[in-house]
Structure 1
Amino acid sequence: MHSSRRPFREFDDSEDAEALRLARRVVRGLSLSMRHVVIAPGSRSAPLAYALAEAEQLGAIRLHVRIDERSAAYTALGIALDSGRPAGVVTTSGTAAGNLMPAMMEADMAGVPLVAITADRPEELHGTGANQTTWQQGMFAARVRDEIHLEQGEVRLEPVSRDDLLSAETQVSLLMRQAAESRGRGPGPVHLNIGFRDPLIPRSPDGGAPPPPQRWARRPVLPDSPARPAEQGRSSTLLDGLDAQEREAAREQIRRSLRAVQDIEPDVRTVFVLGHDAPAEVAQLALELGHPLLAEPTSGSRHADAAVPAYRLLLQAPETSAAGRLTASVQRVVVAGRPTLSRPVQRLLAAEGVDVVQYRPAGVGWHDERLPRPVQADPQRIREFAGAPPQGWLEEWLALGRGAQQVVDRELAEVSAGGLSSVQVAQAVAETVRTPLLLGSSSVIRDVDLSARLGEPGPARLFALRGLSGIDGNVSAASGVSLSRGHRVTALVGDLTFLHDLNALLLPSGEQAPSVDVVVVNDGGGAIFDQLEHGEVGRRPGQADAVERLFGTPQAVDLASLAAGFAVEHRRVETLDELGQALAHPDDRLGLRIIEVRTDRRGLRELHARMKEGVAGL
């Protein structure tokens, strides 16, 4: 049927190369919900590069260029992690697209709206042995919320009206909705693959300079201020401003009211386990009921009044100790977020006779098969499951937690005589910085979980890559957080995590350098394995060298020389006072900076053993 409506055109680029015309419409679809795109150089992706440069000139998008694709992907991941909005990474075809896989896997499990935009060879070149040509459609299958393929020549570039669903712009904007909130799975990554044909560069009339770009890029629909999640600061509760006696009286009044009005079961020994990115309302609920919180650093609730310090040590205490008896008396556990840091927590969740329920108000990209218990999305059902605690239940946990924290502090103070420990450094950084703080995977985040008091004031917000907990891209992700915020960020990482993401320091000349203080705990290798069962194997006769080689992976890289090679500032500190001075006044500096702290990992297993022994005696 013939349409009587005239063609809808906001701009006319009909004389330009078809690849550029398609790229512009893709960018129009992206800019409806996306503010940042990170691009790595490549020829097949050139139409997107030119279109994005035009869009940036027109004020529709912010463009960041990185040389390494994996670093580019994690930079975009950090932007999306902070802002809560889709952020894009653009690569050319072939192995360049394959380098996005680690970040896409992390985004899938962590629920981060990362958008992989991969340029592809046209379909007629597939299977011919053409250069940099591989099958990219579906390459992230089972990792993404949705994916589409656009093939140049098969996409309508001049829609008849705004209602034409075949336009590239509309298809891309619908894909962005899937990234922001996929039905049943929550936000997560998506994949846009585009087959471009030559020519890949814009046409220049009469061979002269190209004309100024038309106003083709969409003006931002969303406000400029990011829609980032709530900051890490102390959430407001009805118990704020009360002293300990008044707070307990208020809790008891709440418990009586709940029992009377909602038939809440009394005298239930429940604990709340809050993992990564736990919903804030769960901590509020535990606080009002009077149940203890076992909260990981990135749960968002480590600062809450009901959060138990050094809880991991309490869960590891012998059954005959006060902490062991308290742990053994737990009847029910409410899990929120994704707990990934502590084996003692996993043992508690799997303990015989302990009923467990997960609070999950929205879809996520994972399911913990170790927790085949019910999943609830209704706070009232969680309240009924948790019940009201017996008198003094929370206070007993908090008292033992404070005692365990004193054991930790005492042992760390005694270690100071022989040099700095990685646990000391983690505690000092987490308790000192006021910037957003990204905690590296492996030992660092566990050291913070063990030792740090994250009260108020504290880090503006805590980040970590806990989707798959890899050491890939941690520094790049911190750079993305900084670019998203426009402010300084601190990253606390181990030496191997830092070296694994060295290309985060590799910036093209003229690019805006993210403002990040990278605190590197340099103990010359991997410390976490000595805390696992491999540490016990390494202490068997004749096994030390093999375990050190295979798991410790010792390294002797000169970080100062390495930083100089990248033209990045380096500062080595020897004491906690020097570390505090180095991190002070973050607004007084710009760009990347490496703060190196040398520690010795050989005594860590014994340090942890002394802490456990001290808590066993409480």
Structure 2
Amino acid sequence: MTTPRRPFREFDDAYDVESLRLARRVIRGLTMTMRHIVLAPGSRSAPMAYALREAEELGAITVHVRIDERSAAFTALGIAMATKSPAGVVTTSGTAAGNLLPAMMEADLSGIPLVAITADRPEEMHGTGANQTTWQQGMFAGRVRDEIHLEQGEARLEPESRDDMLAAETQVGLLLRVATGPAPGPVHLNIGFRDPLVPAAPGEGQRAGAQRWARTPFVPRRRVTDSAEQLRAEIIGSEILGGPAAQGPSVAQGSSAGTPAESPAGSPTGSPADSEASSESGAATESSAKMAGESSAESPAESAAESPAEAAARFEAELGTARTVFVMGADAPAEARELARRLGHPLLAEPSSDARWSDLGTIQGYRLILQAPEGSPASVLAGSVERVVVAGRPTLTRPVQQLIHRQDVEAVQYAPGGEAWFDHRLDRRQIHDVLALAQFAAMAPPGWQDSWTERGLAAQRLIDAALTEQEALAQGELSSVRVAQYVAETVKTPLLLGSSSVIRDVDLAAVLNRTVLGTRDDARRVYAMRGLAGIDGNLSAASGVALARSTRVTALVGDLTFLHDINALLIPSTEREPDLDIVVVNDSGGAIFDQLEHGAVGRREGQAEAVERFFGTPQTVDIEALADAYGHDYHFAEDLDSLGEGLSGLEDRVGIRIIEVRTDRSVLRDFHARLRAAAAEL
């Protein structure tokens, strides 16, 4: 249960410096919906720092300080990912703002409401060679749902009006509303602050001047589903943002005025596509009622005469039958999983979809089934698929992508709210409501689910046997696949899976329902950054998840992912440390490339050294020494028993702990070769 926050008081700051007055009003707008903000130090952003301290003391917001801006941005992204609410990151001007770009790119394609708040030099300093001054307006063009620029006015003899200041709060509050709107995603707030940048000393305050706002020539390349102008009209003067406010001075808008909005499917706002999207909730409710056995309201007499069971049977009969599979990617909507269960279709679920951790038709070892040799029973089964429903964003395996794009398979994308990453020009259409999805998927023919379940269980037995055989050949040395399987099946905390090999190893081998956990609830959910799937920022994002959820979190990452975000371990001594266990699968380099085409090139005569140098990128970093340098606990796991000891009792620990497991990536080639050969038995 969320503790009610104390209201952000009205400051009697008419005689304080104008930069502080503006910062306070900005924060008033932010705290209407924002609970966490991450701040990186800087002088130009100092007004925000001082105002945030005041707001935190009042209980209006929680502030986290990070030294590195890129880590700060991914920490905020992790917070927003865990809470599904806006989280902000504050930086000074110059390259500090540029360090936010990777996290903004990830937030864009993942639909995460990350709010970049960048301090800027005032307009008169641009183009003069002033230090740390660059053109920041529009710097995230094409990545944000909306952006505004606020320019602090020069000191005048008379203080600004209350309406002027409320306009700042209103515009900031509206920006956050866009971030969490029908097409959620990142937004950018750029603020030009003028000196002085520190609070006035008692008795030495200056009378503040009127607020001045500026327009910019920036024209957005992309628009969002809902018109920001319409939202702006709704919210100006509303009680949500502190009472009626005059429209006041103008505000520079990034993607809110001038051009018609476009939906993810390419339709202008106000078109039939928008009408369809706006009625999704009602359609979903109607379809849920029908799937639950309620009769439609077309005929009162028919409704009165027909029992719920009869209505359900009639609805199912109208659907017909089809051999459909549901492919569940990252952030797949829960209703798609439930619909697949009701219709009797198998789920091919990636780890970052909640469907992977349920017992509702999830197929084990599905990757092995899809890549089984031609002529095998598993190949025949996969070849009989007629339709594919894609929910969320599957990104992990080529066999899944090949299934989706097969010429003899009809595929659709279930997009109840539109996806930022989805291009309507792709060869599959979008479906926006559950009823239409049910009509496309149809009922499964008898035995369809059972056939997939049987093949899946057989595939999982082959995977487990191959892992056992590999360990025997390696005289007990662990493989990265076994480590990933063990961690995913053992931890009771929320789990963040690093990009690259780790999440693919979990996808291949991990099964939850054979462990003590039963079914994975929200307290044990899996997170992954699959928007752009980079290895940067994974530890910082896990840190953000831990801070947001106020619980211990486990991150499972490879060694390069760990080293790439090592500044996530750099926590100022004055800050609360996240409760985070980082399991590092250290195979001294990039294992994933050996499973791609580059592995085959490396096996050609004279190519091994070049492939290892340019793709394997071997490293010999002493991770224990790193942990010690940053002041964090360290545990080395030499086998599964030792790994289990390191993972036990995690809920009772505090702070960051690093658990290192060393593996040999050279053995993976033989393991996967044996697995492919064994797939002929499926």
Q: TM-score, normalised by structure 1?
A: 0.88
Aligned Cα root-mean-square deviation (Å): 2.3
Residue 377, structure 1, aligned to residue 432, structure 2: yes
Aligned-pair CA distance for 1:322: 0.6
2:202 corresponds to: 205
2:612 corresponds to: 548
Residue 283, structure 1, aligned to residue 362, structure 2: no
Distance 1:405 1:255, change over 3 A: farther
1:346 corresponds to: 401
What amino acid is the match of 1:507?
Answer: I
The separation in 2 between residues aligned to 1:368 and 1:311, in whole angstroms, is: 27
What amino acid is the match of 2:42?
Answer: G
1:172 corresponds to: 172
> Counterparts of 1:471-550 in structure 2 under 5 Å?
471-550=535-614
Distance 1:349 1:532, change over 3 A: same
1:233 corresponds to: none
The separation in 2 between residues aligned to 1:356 and 1:158, in whole angstroms, is: 58
The separation in 2 between residues aligned to 1:166 and 1:434, in whole angstroms, is: 46
Residue 591, structure 1, aligned to residue 591, structure 2: no
Q: 3-state DSSP class of the match of 2:666?
A: coil
1:195 corresponds to: 192
Which 5+ residue runs of structure 1 have no aligned equivalent? Answer: 1-8, 209-217, 222-236, 239-253
Q: 3-state DSSP class of the match of 1:431?
A: helix
The separation in 1 between residues aligned to 2:176 and 2:367, in whole angstroms, is: 40
CA contact under 8 A between 1:301 and 1:307: conserved in structure 2?
Answer: yes
Cα distance per residue 1:466-525 (max 9 Å; x no partner) = 000000100000000000011100000000000000000111112111010000000000
CA contact under 8 A between 1:264 and 1:388: conserved in structure 2?
Answer: no
1:260 corresponds to: 314
What amino acid is the match of 1:510?
Answer: T
The separation in 2 between residues aligned to 1:90 and 1:449, in whole angstroms, is: 36
The separation in 2 between residues aligned to 1:372 and 1:361, in whole angstroms, is: 18
2:360 corresponds to: 305
Give the paired residue count.
567
CA contact under 8 A between 1:47 and 1:200: conserved in structure 2?
Answer: yes
Cα distance per residue 1:328-385 (max 9 Å; x no partner) = 1111111110010110011001111111111110022111568422211121111111
CA contact under 8 A between 2:45 and 2:92: conserved in structure 1?
Answer: yes
Distance 1:206 1:92, change over 3 A: same
Residue 355, structure 1, aligned to residue 410, structure 2: yes
Distance 1:574 1:441, change over 3 A: same
What amino acid is the match of 2:579?
Answer: S
CA contact under 8 A between 2:22 and 2:165: conserved in structure 1?
Answer: no
The separation in 2 between residues aligned to 1:317 and 1:109, in whole angstroms, is: 32
Cα distance per residue 1:539-598 (max 9 Å; x no partner) = 011110000001000000000111111111111101111111111111221000100000
What amino acid is the match of 2:68?
Answer: D
2:680 corresponds to: 616
Identity of aligned residues (%): 63
The separation in 2 between residues aligned to 1:180 and 1:206, in whole angstroms, is: 42
Aligned-pair CA distance for 1:319: 1.7
The separation in 1 between residues aligned to 2:314 and 2:336, in whole angstroms, is: 21
The separation in 2 between residues aligned to 1:314 and 1:396, in whole angstroms, is: 11
1:35 corresponds to: 35
Distance 1:504 1:219, change over 3 A: farther
Q: 3-state DSSP class of the match of 1:554?
A: coil
Q: 1:270 aligns with which of 312, 324, 342?
A: 324
2:26 corresponds to: 26
Aligned-pair CA distance for 1:166: 6.4
Q: 3-state DSSP class of the match of 2:524?
A: coil
Residue 447, structure 1, aligned to residue 505, structure 2: yes
Aligned-pair CA distance for 1:269: 0.9
Aligned-pair CA distance for 1:264: 3.4
Q: 2:491 aligns with which of 421, 430, 433?
A: 433
The separation in 2 between residues aligned to 1:564 and 1:160, in whole angstroms, is: 53
The separation in 2 between residues aligned to 1:457 and 1:268, in whole angstroms, is: 29
What amino acid is the match of 1:338?
Answer: R
What amino acid is the match of 1:273?
Answer: V
The separation in 1 between residues aligned to 2:414 and 2:42, in whole angstroms, is: 45
Aligned-pair CA distance for 1:266: 3.5
Distance 1:219 1:71, change over 3 A: farther
CA contact under 8 A between 2:349 and 2:363: conserved in structure 1?
Answer: yes
Residue 152, structure 1, aligned to residue 152, structure 2: yes
CA contact under 8 A between 2:493 and 2:651: conserved in structure 1?
Answer: no
Which 5+ residue runs of structure 2 have no aligned equivalent? Answer: 1-8, 206-238, 243-290, 293-307
CA contact under 8 A between 1:316 and 1:324: conserved in structure 2?
Answer: yes
Residue 577, structure 1, aligned to residue 645, structure 2: no
2:459 corresponds to: 404
Aligned-pair CA distance for 1:205: 1.8
2:667 corresponds to: 603
Aligned-pair CA distance for 1:157: 7.8
CA contact under 8 A between 1:283 and 1:304: conserved in structure 2?
Answer: no
The separation in 2 between residues aligned to 1:46 and 1:470, in whole angstroms, is: 31
CA contact under 8 A between 1:259 and 1:265: conserved in structure 2?
Answer: no
Aligned-pair CA distance for 1:120: 0.2
The separation in 2 between residues aligned to 1:551 and 1:382, in whole angstroms, is: 42
> Counterparts of 1:34-433 in structure 2 under 5 Å?
34-153=34-153, 158-160=160-162, 167-181=167-181, 183=182, 186-206=183-203, 260-302=314-356, 303-368=358-423, 371-417=426-472, 418=474, 419-433=477-491
Between 554-563 and 366-375, the greater mean CA deviation after superposition = 366-375
Cα distance per residue 1:268-315 (max 9 Å; x no partner) = 111111111000011111111111110111111012321100101100
The separation in 1 between residues aligned to 2:310 and 2:582, in whole angstroms, is: 49
The separation in 1 between residues aligned to 2:388 and 2:74, in whole angstroms, is: 34
What amino acid is the match of 1:22?
Answer: L
Aligned-pair CA distance for 1:154: 7.9
CA contact under 8 A between 2:364 and 2:456: conserved in structure 1?
Answer: yes
Between 91-100 and 570-579, the greater mean CA deviation after superposition = 570-579
What amino acid is the match of 1:606?
Answer: D
The separation in 2 between residues aligned to 1:170 and 1:52, in whole angstroms, is: 18
Q: 3-state DSSP class of the match of 1:571?
A: strand
The separation in 1 between residues aligned to 2:574 and 2:115, in whole angstroms, is: 25
CA contact under 8 A between 1:60 and 1:219: conserved in structure 2?
Answer: no
1:3 corresponds to: none
What amino acid is the match of 1:204?
Answer: A
Between 357-366 and 100-109, the greater mean CA deviation after superposition = 357-366
The separation in 1 between residues aligned to 2:604 and 2:190, in whole angstroms, is: 52
CA contact under 8 A between 1:36 and 1:88: conserved in structure 2?
Answer: yes
Q: 3-state DSSP class of the match of 2:43?
A: coil
The separation in 2 between residues aligned to 1:153 and 1:488, in whole angstroms, is: 45
CA contact under 8 A between 1:146 and 1:175: conserved in structure 2?
Answer: yes
CA contact under 8 A between 2:169 and 2:241: conserved in structure 1?
Answer: no
The separation in 1 between residues aligned to 2:418 and 2:314, in whole angstroms, is: 33
